[in-house]
Structures are given as C-alpha cells and as structure tokens.
Structure 1
Amino acid sequence: MDNKHEAKSAMEIVNIPPIITTYRHALRTFDDNFKNDFTTNLNKLKSMMDKLKADHLGFDQSFNDPGTWNRPNKAPCTYIEVFQNSVVNMSIFVLKPGFKMPLHDHPYMHGLLKVISGAVRIRSFSEYPLKEVVSKVDFKVRAKHEAARLAQGLHKRRRLFAQISQNHICREDTDTCILTPTVSNYHEIEALSAPAAFFDILAPPYDTFVEGIGPRRCRYYYVVNEISTNVVELQETTVPECFYCDQAPYLGPTLA
C-alpha cells in the first residue's frame, strides 16, 4: 500500500463516528465468543461511552426546551431506540424536568448509562447481602425458584433487602455508570430542574429468555422500610401510573 492509500485508510478510521465504534464494541463485549475477555472489553466500552456527547447521537435539542414538555398529552418520558437485537439494547431516555423514572430492576443483566444532556440524580441499590459473583449453579437455583414462584398462578411480589450503592447527581461530564447482575441492579433516575437525557446499553435486553424462567421482565419497587442509613427493604409493586413513555426517532449515524 502506498503512502496515499495508507493516509486514506487512517483517515477513514479516524472519521468513524463515536457511536458506531461504541456500537461495534458493545456487540463484541457481550458476544459469548469473547467471554474470556469480558472484563477488559467492558472497561473499554465504559471508556468509549465516557466520551459520548449528545451530538454524536443526533440528539434533538428541542427536548431541552421546557416548552416541549408543556404540550398537551406529552408523556413525561420519551424513549428513543438506537439499536436492539437479541444481545444488546441501545437507547436514549429523555425525562421532563423533575420527573423520576421509578425504581426498577434489571434481571441478570449488565447495563451502562451515560448522561448526554442535563443532569439526573441516580439512586442505585444492590441486593443485600451482596454476592459479588453469581455462579452458574447459583443462577440455576435462583431460576428454578423464580419459575416455581411464577407457576403458582397468583403472582407473589418480591420483598428484599437492598444496600444503597450509589446516590449522586450525574451530568454530561460525569463518567458512565455501570450495573451488573448483582451490583447496582436496582435504580431510580430523576431529572433535576431541567430536561435530561441519558444513553444506555443493556445486555441482554428486557424480554429476552431466561433459562428456567421465561421472558426477562422489568419489575418495579418502592422502599417499604429503612433498616439503616444505607440498607432498606424493597417491596415489588405494579408499574406506577405516572410512568409512561412516547417515542421519537433516532437521528444519529446509521449503525452498521
């Protein structure tokens, strides 16, 4: 390859939009073919997301106008699907000023969340006592227990102890937040006095199949007891009526 072609090749690499390189690396991170490199790939994915900006995703700046949220029948949350397959879901959520996305879980999932506009308060919980690693044996035991519980017909809502693992304000210049199947797996997200938006990656996506249980469901909770300054008791509940979304199109670079 001559110098001219080498320069062109280097330029093409440099000019790949950040969201495309993030998307490609996300697919690699959560591909079972590369599971031996998972921790390294996850850390690299986090570093890539740390650098993402609203413009990289084609974010519609009209969402930053408070007037947008005063329109009749406007939902308090807008969902923008960036990409989804059976391995990962990539999306943007936009929250109206002061709106709180209710406390919910991410069953046996990894997640990364990066604020791209405004500011949010994130309060996350880990089930207590914390198990750092969920082994395959332990996972199968949990799966059988969950399947038996659901098979009883009348859904019995979960009640569990949880430890606060995060409770702070995240802005556009804040590093990406990470949740794992055991750490920070429950969280609530509240926009402050202005509209706020965040980009997130979940793997596997909701509704994908969990062996021994069925579709991966999102469940909602509230704090029923405060045990100590950082340990609470959570009670599963129905989807809060205040939480509903409309949708908007993704306007960023085509992912391929």
Structure 2
Amino acid sequence: MFLKDHDMTSIVQRIARQALVTFRSPPRVGEEAAKSFLENHSKLKSLMTEVRAADLKLVPRRADDSSPGVPPPLPYHHGAPPVTYMHICETDHFSMGVFLLKSGASIPLHDHPGMHGMLKVMYGKVRISCFDRLERPAGSPQVAPPLPPAQMDALRRSMLRSTGEYTEESGPCVLSPDRDNLHQIDAVDGPTAFMDILAPPYDPDDGRDCHYYKVLTEAEVKNTEQKEKEVWLMEISQPPDFWCGGEPYPGPEVRL
C-alpha cells in the first residue's frame, strides 16, 4: 500500500507550505483580493481548522502548572511571564508559532499594521474582541473625549466589530489589514494555547511595529446585521503587567 505525500507530511508542515503559497503575493491594503489569493486563503483556513494540540505535541496545562520562559530584564517583572511563545518558523512572508496564556492572562489590545492573520485555539478557551480603525469623515458628529492637547494625537476612532469565545472545536479567527485588525485575547476559565500565523511578520524597520491601546468611550451604532460599537482608542505603552517569554516548540519540524 502506497501513502500519498500529504499522508506522510505533518499537518504543521502542510500549513506552513500553504501559508507560504498564500502570502507570497497578498493583496495590498485597500486592494481587492484576487481569486487565487482567496482560494489559497480558504485552503489555509481549512488546514488550520483541522490542526489539534496533539499535532504540535502540546499537552494541555492545568491552572497550577508553571510554564518556563525568560522575562525581559525590567524591574517590575517577577516570576514566570503570563504569556509564552513557541516559535515554529518564519520567512519574509509569514511567521508561525504558538502562544500559551496562563489562567487569567490577556494579550492586551494591539494592532497588526498592514498584516493578515489567522489564530486557531489548541486547547482551553479564549475570548477575542476585534476592532477596526475608522477614518473620521468630515463633519462627523462624534466628539473626541476631552483630553490634554498632548494626548489628542494618541486617539484613534475605531469600531468594535465582534466579541466571541473560541475553543479547539472552533474554526480560526481571521484578521486582515482592513478587517478585525486590532484585537484583545483573554484566557477564559483556565490556561489556553493557540496557533498563530501573521503575514508578513512584525518588522519595525518596515513600518510593522506592534502598538497597544485602551478603550476610552463607547457609543452604540446600529448596523443592518448586528449592533456594533463605535469607540475611541488611545495608544498606550506596553502595559507593565504584560510581557511574553519564550519556550521550545516540541512539535514536528517545519522545512520551507
């Protein structure tokens, strides 16, 4: 009996190859996606739907498990980090890895400038709140919150698009440069882990640095399909109670 190539190749390897094909020539910001990109993106999403913790040799952790990791040398960081990251692979076109959140931990509201992304829970449960940046139209009635002039430049008019909970049985959470690009991720009811693809990877030298935000105000906006919330976000420094350590990835090797 002969096995087909995809039967002998780990699903992690197949996901990485499909990510490379998908994001080698992505649409530019504001540009309509070509049919080939949409087809490849759909294939990637299908593969991400299939992957499970066992495929990455991840063992779900209990709330009292301590996870290894090396926090950065800042005076207010004590003990194990609330979030750790397992690096799987990275190219110029995408990065892939696993984030592990301790019970009660959060990845604060942050953006992905000009980037696509796909997130799939491996175990546990996460709550994801997704936002979009909005351009303020001329004559907009929405008034910015009263702040000192020095802080006004840090304001961002945005829309809370959705808040949902995801488990290993859920499909991937998808973001694009134009949709659901800002999000906050909270561990719910215990430790959790999710596989993460970002395309292209963060690169401060190329204008793709990570920025953090906090929500200032909300005003309900009625949409034909659902109620969404218009909000003001303020760009802030990385919150002092959040930092990310690293730990080894135990799963199948990826070759590209």
State the Cα deviation string for residues 88-136 of structure 1 (Å, max 9, x = none).
1101101111111100000000000000110010000012359xxxxxx
d(CA) in 1 for partners of 2:85, 2:94 = 16
Aligned residue for 2:14? Answer: 21
d(CA) in 2 for partners of 1:218, 1:209 = 12
TM-score relative to the length of structure 1: 0.79
Aligned residue for 2:129? Answer: 123
Sort the Cα spacing of 1:202 and 1:33 in 2 relative to 1 into closer, same or farther, 3 A. closer
Q: How far has the Cα of 1:240 moved from its partner?
A: 0.2
d(CA) in 2 for partners of 1:252, 1:39 = 29
Tell me if 1:8 matches 2:2.
yes
Sort the Cα spacing of 1:209 and 1:43 in 2 relative to 1 into closer, same or farther, 3 A. farther
d(CA) in 1 for partners of 2:15, 2:159 = 31
Sort the Cα spacing of 1:44 and 1:155 in 2 relative to 1 into closer, same or farther, 3 A. farther
d(CA) in 2 for partners of 1:70, 1:219 = 26
Map 1:198-237; keep pairs closer than 5 Å. Answer: 198-207=194-203, 209-210=205-206, 215-228=207-220, 230-237=229-236
Q: Which amino acid aligns with 2:64?
A: G
Aligned residue for 2:30? Answer: none
Judging by fraction of residues, say which structure has more helix. 1
CA RMSD of aligned residues (A): 2.4
Q: How far has the Cα of 1:58 moved from its partner?
A: 1.8
State the Cα deviation string for residues 61-92 of structure 1 (Å, max 9, x = none).
3xx12222499811111111111121111011
Sort the Cα spacing of 1:43 and 1:234 in 2 relative to 1 into closer, same or farther, 3 A. same
Aligned residue for 1:145? Answer: none
TM-score relative to the length of structure 2: 0.79
Aligned residue for 2:45? Answer: 46
d(CA) in 1 for partners of 2:45, 2:126 = 19
Tell me if 1:250 matches 2:226.
no
d(CA) in 2 for partners of 1:13, 1:170 = 28
Number of equivalent positions: 220
Decide whether the 8 Å contact of 2:109 with 2:184 is kept in 1.
Answer: yes
Decide whether the 8 Å contact of 2:6 with 2:14 is kept in 1.
Answer: no
Structure 1 window deviating more from structure 2 (196-205 vs 64-73): it is 64-73
Aligned residue for 1:134? Answer: none
d(CA) in 1 for partners of 2:51, 2:122 = 7
d(CA) in 1 for partners of 2:173, 2:135 = 21
Identity of aligned pairs, percent? 34
Q: How far has the Cα of 1:244 moved from its partner?
A: 0.6
d(CA) in 2 for partners of 1:105, 1:245 = 16
Q: Which amino acid aligns with 1:181?
A: P
Q: Which amino acid aligns with 1:14?
A: D
